Structure 1
């Protein structure tokens, strides 16, 4: 065997790449990892972690308001954006250091540089250094998609820049209808910003259960977010400190900030994939098999760069499975069929398994169970927002195919429901489970009446 510099060279220091590097090193492999930006990747630096911190901040207004119904009185609550961002930056820096320190503790060589393929078993660093490796893993993640070729597109920021804003705008236009768009619309609205969501489709969150989509749109509108559906931007013009946004339908908006959150794309540009013969798809995603192997022996890819299921825990699972397979000699395939996911709007929603629509499309005869109610705290606080819970059940086998929740703590509830679905739980198993009272989650085990659509 020809001598190489490393057993494994990882391109990308995000969640998937870091996990793969650590596990491979634990198996005794000689590992190096290159990251051109900051260790931790999108999730830690400018994704789910800082976004969740902003979500927490945006919910305190509700807490102060609701407290009055429970007998609390306090002085005028004020919010300072710069304090939040400074504290967020401090926490992200701490996490970044932990990521890099954990790699070094495992003996992984960490390189803060860009790397690109120059062949099946070789990479070139930005300083011109060439490194060889028996195995190469690409884990470069994704990047925000730009809005498109419209006049003034340069005035539109993405989710990368939004975390670095010096000041909180008074008005914002958010473009998109996926996770990132509705989450940021909810965050800014919760912080008191006049918020407009512009989306080219008729509903947000394509692919989610229709009841969740409808329920969330109702809740967002109820919180004062202006929803412009079946609409798009055709131009953005600066006017002093403000912007004029032209709409496809002929209208216009005046705002202080325009945020594009129309999706993400695999970060594969400039990686030298062609030179190594690595096949990519229409969006630039790296084509891999069930073991994350690319079309070139010895080159693998995990995470968002493969555009399979673009979620941080999935990237981590794929990275771990890769290391187990290649260096642990224990072949592991990741099952992408049952992945819990949450959208951290306010109210938040979470889901695992099949939506009603997806289950019907697969030919299942269904029994549906739904509950819609005011959470207990809302009965005293005076808030009218309602929780929705739904179980999608296969009529023939009684197996629970999907669990969908819209309301406070939806993510926490669905995480545990996901365990039940992973084990193949039937509706009878839910029914046989003792309820934890009083809680919102107990509704999932007390649903008895089948729901039928209106005649």
Structure 2
């Protein structure tokens, strides 16, 4: 059978773009890609990139305060949200155009429209055009989830955060995951009176307990009002804003309510189930180790599969797919040891097992140090850094590393390399410290604080 293209990709986010580019440029495939929104997907347009730029903007008040402590005669003025937003939107335009240029340069045909799967080897565009393909890749990502409560239409999600006409005076962030916690810190840093509701016992569920407790304490000391064990029952228009009626019996008014209560795979309406593609409980596309669905010609990568929902993971999955199908190099992506960072203030960087997960596997040693770093101690600020290693007692391998403090994301990237190679605690100990740095604590902790 003759097909119009060798590969049709649905979704122009990180995973889909990488798969399309490698298949075309290195695999010699005829590739087409459809994106119904903006090229670049969640990360580039409404996720990691604009969020990190907002993190940078929100950190300047503390840096200006530190500058004064170091002898500089400086004073923070008011934050110009309109100016920042204009520059941000221009940067996102630049990145989107770069993505388009990269794809076109690789020979990928772009369709700026929605596509659905008509059969195992054909897609139908919203324009009515039908395109046949030997292989179809679903890379449609995810979307923010807002629970069905009265007044839910009064809330916004992370998608809208970057396009606010003005900053609110009072904001409520609902959720306790990394997106919610990051935006709580961003809003606070930009001068917004910020409250965070989370129905669980502690924010950042799934991260190391000691590390997430360290982050939560720092956020509260900075002035963010975190209410755990609290959820919103309903939202309603109040005389001075949005009234949030909560499960703790309170009713508070805010100018903005941001819901960051998780994300759901973007799999609805694509025609998958009718073809026999299995979907999971949350709508995720079920795939094997090679990202292949139950329909042999259809594959899926990225957040739509709900495996590990991180941009670099989607990129690696997309690359592995292209290597397997179009370059003749069968490649499985290993999801077992992935470093990540939470850009709260302070940052949290993590790789490997948490103390709690490691303890379930066998006897461990825990090495942990909390201290005031030189820079902020000199400036008279109380912030403390946490460095933590989890070590297997029998093999001496470092099973996990958790860092809370400035630059944690940068440090954990490097820590992930020796841990991925199977480094032992003694390998860390043999490494000479770089002084004076925060990271030197990772190689100078000699005695465990806990065993068992």
Partners of 1:42 and 1:141 within 8 A in 2: yes
Work out the CA distance in 1 between the residues paired with 2:358 and 2:121: 44
Q: 1:335 aligns to what? A: 334
Q: 1:175 aligns to what? A: 174
Q: 1:53 aligns to what? A: 53
Pick from 433, 445, 450: which aligns with 2:448? 450
Q: 1:310 aligns to what? A: 309
Could you list the per-position Cα deviations for residues 116-158 of structure 1 after superposition, in whole angstroms to 9, with x for gaps in the alignment?
A: 0011111000011111000000000000001x22221110111
TM-aligned CA deviation for residue 3 of structure 1: 0.3
Runs (4 or more) in structure 1 with deviation over 6 Å come to none
Establish whether residue 238 from structure 1 lines up as the match of residue 237 from structure 2.
Answer: yes
Establish whether residue 42 from structure 1 lines up as the match of residue 37 from structure 2.
Answer: no
Could you list the per-position Cα deviations for residues 148-171 of structure 1 after superposition, in whole angstroms to 9, with x for gaps in the alignment?
A: 222211101111111110100010
Establish whether residue 73 from structure 1 lines up as the match of residue 73 from structure 2.
Answer: yes
Establish whether residue 153 from structure 1 lines up as the match of residue 152 from structure 2.
Answer: yes
Could you list the per-position Cα deviations for residues 249-285 of structure 1 after superposition, in whole angstroms to 9, with x for gaps in the alignment?
A: 2111111000000000000111111232211000000
Q: 2:87 aligns to what? A: 87
Partners of 2:363 and 2:451 within 8 A in 1: no
Establish whether residue 351 from structure 1 lines up as the match of residue 345 from structure 2.
Answer: no
Give the root-mean-square deviation of aligned CA atoms: 1.0
Q: 2:283 aligns to what? A: 284
Work out the CA distance in 2 between the residues paired with 1:129 and 1:66: 59
Work out the CA distance in 1 between the residues paired with 2:14 and 2:150: 36
Q: 1:32 aligns to what? A: 32
Partners of 1:118 and 1:275 within 8 A in 2: no
TM-aligned CA deviation for residue 237 of structure 1: 1.1
Work out the CA distance in 1 between the residues paired with 2:112 and 2:239: 40
Residues 17 and 64 from structure 1, CA distance in 2 versus in 1: closer, same or farther, beyond 3 angstroms? Answer: same
Show structure 1 runs of 5+ residues with no match: none
Establish whether residue 5 from structure 1 lines up as the match of residue 19 from structure 2.
Answer: no
State the SS of the aligned residue for 2:422: coil
Q: 1:298-447 residue pairs with structure 2 within 5 A? A: 298-361=297-360, 363-447=361-445
Establish whether residue 205 from structure 1 lines up as the match of residue 204 from structure 2.
Answer: yes
State the SS of the aligned residue for 1:124: strand
Work out the CA distance in 2 between the residues paired with 1:369 and 1:434: 17
Partners of 2:64 and 2:76 within 8 A in 1: no
TM-aligned CA deviation for residue 241 of structure 1: 5.1
Q: TM-score, normalising length from structure 1?
A: 0.98
State the SS of the aligned residue for 1:116: strand
TM-aligned CA deviation for residue 449 of structure 1: 1.4
TM-aligned CA deviation for residue 364 of structure 1: 1.9
Work out the CA distance in 2 between the residues paired with 1:75 and 1:349: 29
Q: How many residues align?
A: 451
Work out the CA distance in 2 between the residues paired with 1:220 and 1:281: 35
Q: 1:132 aligns to what? A: 132
Could you list the per-position Cα deviations for residues 11-36 of structure 1 after superposition, in whole angstroms to 9, with x for gaps in the alignment?
A: 00000000000000021000000000
State the SS of the aligned residue for 2:194: strand
